Chain A
Amino acid sequence: MSVSATDQQKNLRPPKIHPLLRFILVRIGISILLIWGVTVVTFLMTNLVPTDPVAAILGDRAAADPEIVAQTRERLGLDQPLIVQYFTYLGNLLQGDLGVSNQTRVPVLESIGQVFPASIELGIGAILLSVIIGLLLGLLSALKQNTIVDHAIRTLSLIGISAPTFWIAAVGYFVFFFKLRLVGGAGRLDPWMTPPPRVTGLYTVDSLLAGQMATFTNALGHLILPSCVLALFTIGLLTRFSRSSVLDIIKLDYVTAAKAKGLAPRTVVFKYIFRGALVPIITVVGLAFGSLLSGAVLTETVFAWNGLGQYAYRGATTLDLPVIMGVGLVIGIVYIIVNFVVDLIYGFVDPRVRVR
């Protein structure tokens, strides 16, 4: 059987990879490099703090005993050169070991596993509210440009962006919980309630899975206010961003053409204007979601919401290095994943950036 030269050339070429798959693989490769970069940065930043973590671990008496200080330093590996400490840290990371908290002696990964679902639950609640309300308000504001509706929405969004979250949280807690009794109090459940059997760590989801409706409504009651408080800033941000983005698109020729063709206003708005305006908005939504997942220290503090933000704050104030590094790494990974997903969504939303 003879084989033509063209066929031979075809056989020699490496098999074609689908462009989308290649794009994903490249992005995964870059993400891995970025994660390694995050480990270097978090490790260096944490360990170059000009203070001694042993001081934070030991009490006054124990800290005055050089023998105990030396033993503690040795136990934590702090007597090793920085480069050795880094490679030990990296080696442990590759085995899924983020270290053990210097303060509580609980593995950092275990603690993050406990607190991260709380932040995810809060973050999802807040981002859902933000996207729905922010996008609709932004769109409405742009369509009603320079009317009283536009001015009112812009003023509200400005308030959302500039009002201090801590103050809004405290006032919201006082009014909606203490005075009006519309929502649950601090914490993820009433203090005397038992959390649902853990599956996802999200109390609303786990309680539904367990068929515990009383726990579900209680968890929802506790979730709604911190979510709203947290969402206020992102609602303001998304409103302004989507308004500006829609105003840019509305002037373009293809929108004018769609209107001239006599398409229904709803079709023009949602299929032509809104879709075109989505690309920059998705970037902001992605960053906002990453920020919400990374923990919101002040909101979590007011609502005694034991999430990643509070965990990170306690780690930072007690110089708990493994905790600081662990949280830093997790936050870095969250942002990398969110950006990765945002890149993929671009392709689906906007044909101009779709990978060919």
Chain B
Amino acid sequence: MKIRLPRRALAIGSALALTFGLAACSGGDSEGGGAGDAIVAETAFNLKTIDPHRQFEFTGSTIDNAIYQTALEFEDGDLTKPTDGLCSYEMSDNDKKMTLTLKQKDAKFSNGDPVTVDDIVFSFKRLQGIEGNPSFFLDGVTVKKVDDETIELISKNPNPALPYILPNSSIGIVNAKVVKENEGTTDENDGAEQFLNQNSQGSGPYKVETYDADSKVVLTANEHYNGPAPKFSKVVLRNVSAETQVTDIQSGQADVSFDLSSDQVETLDKNAVQISSLPSTRSIYIFNNTDEEIGGPTADPNFRKAVASALDYEKILDLAGENGQRMASPVPNEFNGAVPKDQAPDRDLDRAKKLLDKAGYDGEAVPFHYASDQAVNGMDIAQLAQTIQAQLKEAGIKLSLKPAPSATQLDGFRAAEQPMGIGTWGADYPDPSNYNVFVPGGSVAERVNWAEGDNPEIDKLAAAATKAEGDDRGPAYAELFQATTETGIWVPLVQPVSTVVVSNRIESYVSNADVTFDFAKAE
């Protein structure tokens, strides 16, 4: 049957062709050149809020680093050297009192108001009072205004970690007057979060222009910033999956990519991009439950040590990519109190098998829990779990993999119901006291039912580390975490690498462990 297409069909076909034509024309606009004075950064959003006193996620922190100044900073991103920010500081001999003195008297908020001691006091008190995720930073600290230039932070117990805590972007200084006018308070009745999401109140190099927690945040330069004006007057941070970031960074669609894994970085044309690899402040470890009813064989120290001996750490390191590091304790290698990484165990299958005999392990499958949708600095946790399963099998340890979405896995871990699995910890602040969560009775230790008193020797070391002052703190904590790791309750696996990929359009930039990428210093 011969038919001719009706005119309407032809018209529709022509319209489609026109659409493709227009699309093709538009495609040409996308070649990077349109960015001008905007810097485009891409990351897979982990963003709940940019209210500094509530945010506690990577994306929120990246944004707030550009918006808010803090009382103290880290010198050139060196996490071991807290230095002056808006204030200078002095610690008392017993580490119970910190005196802050307003130093940057020319600092101004984005509406032109000067930064005052009252703003700093309000910010500290708001952080404490609203009971958000980062409120614990100033637990047990009393904030007191002394005069228009001085603040005292008085801690109940010696608090040598305080200078390492204050540079955190969650303790950003906000304009107290404006925040109070918009339902901001220093207690749990605070209602300024949505206001702060749309109208940042900081004194940093940028201020928020538009905020959409699902897709895009746009920042513009703060004309009242007291530092050098940023070269790029606009920052566009977009929510883009890591797979798409690979194409975008090479095409010029994006200038900065935060989430590429080592495998993805390998595929990039190294002449087209710049790669900055930094040691991450994340730790990845295996946890073993100490409760026999829950963990079965994992409650036996010999079984746990067998696990530590059966792992092929070099192959695990390959998964992290170049610059990933071994760990001899849960504390990242660059931190004070870390156990030197050359003390990390090596694989010894014979030893592992002997320890399993000693433990009387009969080959029963141990449930092994992990977050199947999680990647830590591009390191795929599901792949890591499968690798561990294969390695332990060579020693005769049988794991039954229990993948779950992050939220579900975390729920079970927090409830101390999981026998064994993969845990991750990101430093809240770069001080060894932050890792007290891993010692008996600590919040993470409770998830494997390891209570204070279960191991008196470690309790003594913990007490000694807490009391240690000055240069003695590092060795005291290192001894504590070495003993903690030797129990096999934690088996540190790897300190991954934080990779930032930057397009060649950016001629110079600062990327360090503190801010990851400093938008204000990019040129």
Contacts and interface: CB of A to CB of B under 8 A. Distances in A.
B136 A61 contact: yes
Contacts of A220: 19, 22-23, 26
Given A62-B135, A184-B29, A221-B30, A319 B248 contact: no
Contacts of B213: 103-104, 106
B28 interface: yes
A314 B373 CA distance: 12
B133 A62 contact: yes
B454 interface: no
Nearest to A129: B16
B145 interface: no
Contacts of A304: 215, 238-241, 244
B379 to A, nearest CB: 18
Interface stretch (B112-120, B326-334, B406-414, B512-520): B406-414
B169 to A, nearest CB: 14
Interface string A314-326: 1011110000000
Nearest to B23: A224
Contacts of B212: 114, 306
Interface stretch (B31-39, B75-83, B281-289, B471-479): B31-39
Contacts of B3: 143, 265-266, 269
Interface in A59-81: 59-65, 68, 71
B22 A217 contact: yes
B26 A185 contact: no
Contact of A221 (B22, B133, B253): B22
Contacts of A59: 56, 133-134
Interface stretch (B4-12, B177-185, B382-390, B459-467): B4-12
A318 B407 contact: yes
A310 B131 CA distance: 30
Contact of B2 (A49, A177, A187, A265): A265
B357 interface: no
Interface residues of B, number: 73
A306 B136 CA distance: 34
Interface in A203-240: 214, 217-218, 220-225
A60 B243 CA distance: 29
A174 B267 CA distance: 13
Contacts of A270: 6
Interface stretch (A7-15, A17-25, A50-58, A328-336): A50-58
Contacts of A186: 238, 240, 244, 248, 253
Contacts of A302: 241, 243-244
B275 to A, nearest CB: 19
B250 A178 contact: yes
Interface string A155-198: 00000000000000010011011101111111100111100000
Contact of B27 (A55, A64, A177, A310): A177
Interface residues of A, number: 72
B214 interface: yes
B259 interface: no
Contact of B4 (A181, A184, A266, A310): A266
Contacts of A182: 23-24, 27
Contacts of B9: 136
Interface in A94-147: 103-106, 111, 114-115, 129, 132, 136, 143
A303 interface: yes
B213 to A, nearest CB: 4
A170 B243 contact: yes
Contacts of B428: 61
What 3 pairs between A and B have smallest CB-CB spacing? Answer: A221-B26, A64-B443, A59-B133
16 contacts: A55-B410, A60-B425, A61-B443, A62-B132, A68-B131, A105-B49, A129-B16, A143-B3, A184-B27, A186-B244, A190-B34, A192-B34, A220-B19, A221-B26, A224-B23, A319-B407
Interface of B: 1-4, 6, 9, 12-13, 16, 19-20, 22-31, 34-36, 38, 40, 47-49, 56, 131-136, 188, 193-194, 212-216, 234, 236, 238-241, 243-244, 247-248, 250-251, 253-254, 373, 405-408, 410-412, 414, 425, 428, 437, 443-444, 446
Given A185-B248, A304-B240, A311-B214, 19 more contacts: A53-B407, A56-B406, A62-B136, A64-B414, A114-B214, A129-B16, A176-B27, A178-B250, A178-B251, A181-B27, A191-B35, A191-B236, A192-B35, A214-B29, A221-B25, A221-B29, A224-B19, A302-B241, A304-B239
